[in-house]
């Protein structure tokens, strides 16, 4: 299999457009193109794998991932496992392994995740690792919340996180943030 290229495609799903990417015979990318860390994550994967990114090129793995998402998007169940490939530090890899174990309909706090990952005092580093996740939905980082139980952020798309959690049956409130100094009353 070709390990010198990351092939990517974009598809629309119920909560927005998603970019999927594969290297060799594994899925390595599942990101919202409008997310905060989108370009940085693409660059990190390209550099880390030593692979050029080729947009708009379908592979068998990408077809399988799209089919899995289309079949399971509205179900409150885990998706069938696909072969995944990640690139990151040891801490990031361990955080992503723990995130992948969070069951559908359940959430954990960043501090709980830090303890699960074996780094109970490294909550900020763990939160940063969650933000660096390149496999949204397949490594379900939307299930990680701030300690106060609020929605928090999700790659700059908190409403997307809200919709994903609600589809999984999580009772959570969405509060739109109004920038300081702006009047929210018409």
CA distances from 143 to 64, 105, 157, 161, 184 (A): 23, 8, 14, 8, 29
Catalytic positions, written as ranges:
141
CA 15/CA 64 separation, integer angstroms: 19
CA 164/CA 122 separation, integer angstroms: 27
CA 29/CA 21 separation, integer angstroms: 4
Could you give the angle at which helices 90-100 and 123-131 cross, rounded to 10 degrees? 70
132 contacts 124 by C-beta, under 8 angstroms:
no
82 contacts 138 by C-beta, under 8 angstroms:
yes
CA 147/CA 48 separation, integer angstroms: 32
């Amino acid at each position: 299999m070709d390990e010198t290229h990351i092939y990517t495609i974009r598809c629309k799903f119920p909560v927005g457009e998603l970019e999927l990417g594969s290297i060799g015979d594994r899925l390595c990318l599942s990101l919202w193109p409008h997310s905060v860390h989108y370009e940085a994550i693409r660059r990190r994967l390209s550099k880390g794998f030593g692979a050029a990114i080729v947009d708009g090129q379908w592979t068998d793995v990408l077809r399988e991932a799209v089919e899995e998402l289309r079949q399971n998007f509205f179900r409150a169940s885990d998706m069938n496992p696909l072969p995944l490939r990640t690139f990151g530090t040891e801490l990031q890899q361990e955080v992503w392994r723990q995130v992948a174990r969070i069951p559908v309909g359940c959430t954990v706090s960043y501090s709980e995740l830090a303890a699960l990952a074996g780094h109970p005092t490294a909550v900020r580093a763990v939160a940063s690792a969650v933000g660096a996740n390149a496999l949204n939905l397949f490594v379900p980082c939307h299930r990680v919340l701030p300690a106060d139980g609020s929605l928090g952020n999700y790659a700059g798309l908190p409403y997307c996180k809200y919709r994903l959690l609600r589809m999984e049956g999580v009772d959570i409130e969405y509060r739109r943030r109004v920038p300081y100094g702006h009047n929210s009353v018409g």
